[in-house]
Structure 1
């Protein structure tokens, strides 16, 4: 009898709750961000059932946006039976942000990248900006990204890049230096399948230009190389991260698959090319001030025996302290793990310490997966760092890391940048 009464009570409660509806969604606290944009991407709308799970998912989505530092909600009765107003309260980020990356090693190498981006153009959460890079040669790029341009699910990204670097090319006879230029235009369609899953699909038209500068030579490697190519790109992301200012918790997976086709020239000399990699990211809150962060990258590509292999070993990409582009491979396994601990926290500012281990191994061009276990391909770099964080400016995290190599040929060096390393 008692169980029957509990069942009837539960059923009555569910029926009563299901009759509650949303009279209106109101947005408060926003200044630059348009209220209409918040309503467009929210699932809570006038006339729908009042559902706390739907509201929570909206708030989680809003806190991921570059334009929002923090968001929370309130629910108030309208005075009419079973009707409620939902209030989304917004704490905005400042979104016109400079970016900077500076990296060096004990070999006195020095490079930097400076940029400026607006992450809330027209109050619609549109990102637009570009960067200038000095890495011996001059490079620049312009980027436009509007994930919600057409609807809550459909957006567009357009990117232009003219990148020039001095690339080490690893030959059997030694190492050569080539001036490498890549000029590209990319267009991507962005589609949000649901709250946690999204897809990007598009095309990148580019031209590659290699010019021999100095070092070793090989009969099979030309001093100059020019080729026009087209790249088809697919990105699939699962994102279930939850943000609370500088703290992150949850799991995220990003799969990037590309097919590269030469638009002209000898197909034997420039064969079609496949490359794919997946980044697995896991974050865990530890106590009130700790955050454990992890990134595992698994990647592979067409295993051509080429000095221009796609997976780089680089200071600013995967191993802090290793140097600027010291090696290449046709497959890679890279693990970055770090513990972030908040030392000081105020209303707008936080200071974090950081202890990390970066480790990776590569497959040599033309080799096999057994190369992963070869000692000369394995690199391990532990280190320490600091994070200076402005909590009300998007991505306003100035990071300093110092990594020290423990394996064969290990170097050491500082890596500066804007934003968390991953």
Structure 2
């Protein structure tokens, strides 16, 4: 027993305390500023050499958009230790293209350009232009570490116009939906595993009926100014090795929309409400080339449950692949996405993956009770397969193509294209 204890103490002393760190260096940096990384890492010169703390720094560095991979090496000299963080950077000026079918059957697209490592300290800046029956655009800026390694800010402006189906009891009718919003956020990094945002936005919305006569009981037009408060919390504990992810990620978003100005009809349909959404994501590395990923999404709204202008939509790009573009709206939802990703080919900067998935969900229609979620009337199940083309040196450069096939009642099928993993 004494021998085991002595061996444990010996291993612990070698592993966790190999002298004092004399200097800390970074190699491989091209665009990322060294002083920025020194602000983020917890290991400092003249501190005790601690491999646990170093490995925590490595994990944090690999999560930054500007860094593709990170590792460390050390050298001991005269009882002091020289530590070097070896960085492989991402290319972070990312153009984006999303192609889909608009709700009126026309061709739709979204073009974007984002820089995720602006000025070398992982600021985000960029914008988009979209044509989805009508024109839309938006601009975004985010500096997560403006004030310290724990506090930053974000701002955005969006002017979005789309053709949106709204589902009334008497039938489905299309509206020209426009939303102009300006938003500001404070970004908090409490510790390595916990992040949060709080913010507010001023939103001007309008719905204008497309057609000759509105549905009985449905409005011809609505205009409202609203104030939206948003709180976001993320717990993240994942290990990232290029296209492979292992661990858990939980994201919770709460929003409160309050009516500021508009007519009585607009207040009825677009009145005050609270929306809550939680995404729990589990990743598991499977042997050398496999990755299993699952997402459970729970969402609900309170305060204006009878309005057909419900906040949660059933859509290809958001929750169930193959179902179509905005095929339903709900005031609550349960969605489970699970897929297995396998790397069939990998060389240098390129990797090719195939995946098999099952997307399933159920919705609560406006005016209905929570029991409708479990009645089976609104359940959709879509298994499918897809491919991924991955550039390992460009941030989020995963080009995906999925085909989903509906096996539930009135099931459809379709191809979904996008950039970035589905979740």
TM-score (norm 2): 0.94
**What corresponds to 1:254 in structure 2?**
251
**What corresponds to 1:55 in structure 2?**
54
The 2-side partners of 1:414 and 1:29 are apart by: 40
- The residue correspondences of 1:314-353 to structure 2 (distance < 5 A) are 314-353=315-354
**What corresponds to 2:36 in structure 1?**
37
Q: Report if the CA contact (8 A) 1:344-1:352 is conserved.
A: yes
Stretch moving more, 15-24 or 394-403: 15-24
**Within the alignment, does 1:205 sit opposite 2:202 as a pair?**
yes
Q: Report if the CA contact (8 A) 1:276-1:301 is conserved.
A: yes
**Within the alignment, does 1:131 sit opposite 2:132 as a pair?**
no
Residue-by-residue CA offset, 1:311-358 (whole Å, 9 max, x unaligned): 100011111111110110000001111111111100110000011111
The 2-side partners of 1:269 and 1:390 are apart by: 45
Stretch moving more, 255-264 or 372-381: 372-381
**What corresponds to 1:80 in structure 2?**
78
The 2-side partners of 1:218 and 1:333 are apart by: 29
Q: Report if the CA contact (8 A) 2:99-2:108 is conserved.
A: yes
Q: Report if the CA contact (8 A) 1:105-1:411 is conserved.
A: no
SS in 2 for 1:372: helix
SS in 2 for 1:288: coil
Q: Report if the CA contact (8 A) 1:171-1:217 is conserved.
A: no
SS in 2 for 1:264: strand
**Could you say which structure has the greater relative contact order, defined with CA pairs below 8 angstroms and 6 or more residues apart?**
1
The 2-side partners of 1:9 and 1:337 are apart by: 44
C-alpha displacement at 1:84, in angstroms? 0.9
**What corresponds to 2:364 in structure 1?**
363
The 2-side partners of 1:25 and 1:225 are apart by: 60
**What corresponds to 1:272 in structure 2?**
272
Q: Report if the CA contact (8 A) 2:94-2:115 is conserved.
A: yes
C-alpha root-mean-square deviation of aligned residues, in Å? 2.0
The 1-side partners of 2:200 and 2:333 are apart by: 24
The 2-side partners of 1:85 and 1:96 are apart by: 33
- The residue correspondences of 1:117-266 to structure 2 (distance < 5 A) are 117-214=114-211, 217-265=214-262, 266=264
**What corresponds to 1:411 in structure 2?**
412
The 1-side partners of 2:212 and 2:55 are apart by: 59
Q: Report if the CA contact (8 A) 1:106-1:412 is conserved.
A: no
SS in 2 for 1:214: coil
C-alpha distance 301-84 of structure 1, shift in aligned 2 (>3 A)? same
C-alpha displacement at 1:109, in angstroms? 5.5
The 1-side partners of 2:420 and 2:269 are apart by: 40
C-alpha displacement at 1:167, in angstroms? 0.7
Q: Report if the CA contact (8 A) 1:202-1:233 is conserved.
A: yes
C-alpha displacement at 1:367, in angstroms? 0.5
The 2-side partners of 1:124 and 1:396 are apart by: 20
The 2-side partners of 1:158 and 1:90 are apart by: 29
The 2-side partners of 1:384 and 1:13 are apart by: 47
The 1-side partners of 2:419 and 2:272 are apart by: 36
Equivalent residues, number? 418
Stretch moving more, 95-104 or 309-318: 95-104
Q: Report if the CA contact (8 A) 2:151-2:187 is conserved.
A: yes
SS in 2 for 1:124: coil
C-alpha distance 76-369 of structure 1, shift in aligned 2 (>3 A)? same
**What corresponds to 2:45 in structure 1?**
46
C-alpha displacement at 1:114, in angstroms? 1.3
The 1-side partners of 2:322 and 2:106 are apart by: 11
The 2-side partners of 1:336 and 1:136 are apart by: 29
SS in 1 for 2:210: strand
The 2-side partners of 1:338 and 1:357 are apart by: 6
C-alpha displacement at 1:219, in angstroms? 4.4
Unpaired runs of at least 5, structure 1:
none
